[in-house]
Structure 1
Amino acid sequence: MATDESVLEASRQLADALRPGTLDQTLENITAAAVQVLPEVEQASITVRHTDGRLETFAPTSEMLLELDAAQYDLREGPCYDAATDRVHVLAPFLATDSRFPQYAREAEALGVQAQAGIRLFDTPTSSGALNLYASQPGRFEELGAIGELFTHQSATALAYAYEITNLTEAMRSRQRIGQAVGAIMERYDLDDARAFGFLARLSQDNNIKLRDVAETLLVDMDERRSEQG
Structure 2
Amino acid sequence: MAELARAAAMPRDAEEVFSEVTSAAVELIPGVDTAGILLITKGGRFESHAGTTDLPHELDELQHTLQEGPCMDAALDDPVVRTDDFRVESRWPAYSAEVVELGVLSGLSFRLYTHERTTGALNLFGFAPTVWDNDGQLTGTVLAAHAAAAISAHRHAGQLTSALLSRDRIGQAKGIIMERFDVDDVQAFDMMRRLSQESNTRLVDIARRVIETRGGS
Q: TM-score range by the shorter chain?
A: 0.7 to 0.9
Instruction: Map 1:1-230; keep pairs closer than 5 Å.
Output: 11-16=1-6, 18=8, 20=10, 21-139=12-130, 141=132, 143=134, 144-183=136-175, 193-194=185-186, 197=189, 201=193, 210-212=202-204, 215=207
State the TM-score, normalized to the length of structure 2.
0.73
Change in 2 beyond 3 A, CA 1:59/1:175: farther
Q: Does structure 1 retain, via aligned residues, the 8 Å contact 2:21–2:144?
A: no
Deviation at 1:77, TM superposition (A): 0.7
Change in 2 beyond 3 A, CA 1:103/1:192: farther
Deviation at 1:80, TM superposition (A): 0.5
Deviation at 1:217, TM superposition (A): 7.3
Change in 2 beyond 3 A, CA 1:110/1:164: same
- What's the secondary structure of 2:110's corresponding residue? strand
Where does residue 5 of structure 1 map in the other structure? none
Code of the residue aligned with 1:179 in structure 2: it is G
Change in 2 beyond 3 A, CA 1:172/1:31: farther
Code of the residue aligned with 2:50 in structure 1: it is A
Runs of 5+ consecutive residues of structure 2 not aligned to the other structure: none
Change in 2 beyond 3 A, CA 1:58/1:181: farther
State the TM-score, normalized to the length of structure 1.
0.69
Q: Does structure 2 retain, via aligned residues, the 8 Å contact 1:18–1:30?
A: no
Deviation at 1:100, TM superposition (A): 0.7
Q: Does structure 2 retain, via aligned residues, the 8 Å contact 1:23–1:163?
A: no
Runs of 5+ consecutive residues of structure 1 not aligned to the other structure: 1-10, 224-230
Moved more, 25-34 or 95-104: 25-34
Q: Does structure 2 retain, via aligned residues, the 8 Å contact 1:22–1:166?
A: no
Change in 2 beyond 3 A, CA 1:211/1:45: farther
Code of the residue aligned with 2:4 in structure 1: it is L
- What's the secondary structure of 2:5's corresponding residue? helix
- Distance in 2 (CA, whole Å) between partners of 1:170 and 1:155 is 23
CA deviations 1:186-209 (Å, max 9, x no partner) are 667777655654565567557766
- How many residues are treated as equivalent by the alignment? 213
Moved more, 32-41 or 77-86: 32-41
Change in 2 beyond 3 A, CA 1:53/1:185: farther
- Distance in 1 (CA, whole Å) between partners of 2:153 and 2:51 is 21
Change in 2 beyond 3 A, CA 1:140/1:188: farther
Change in 2 beyond 3 A, CA 1:185/1:38: farther
- What's the secondary structure of 1:169's corresponding residue? helix
Change in 2 beyond 3 A, CA 1:96/1:164: same
- Distance in 2 (CA, whole Å) between partners of 1:66 and 1:154 is 20
Q: Does structure 2 retain, via aligned residues, the 8 Å contact 1:89–1:117?
A: yes
Moved more, 106-115 or 196-205: 196-205
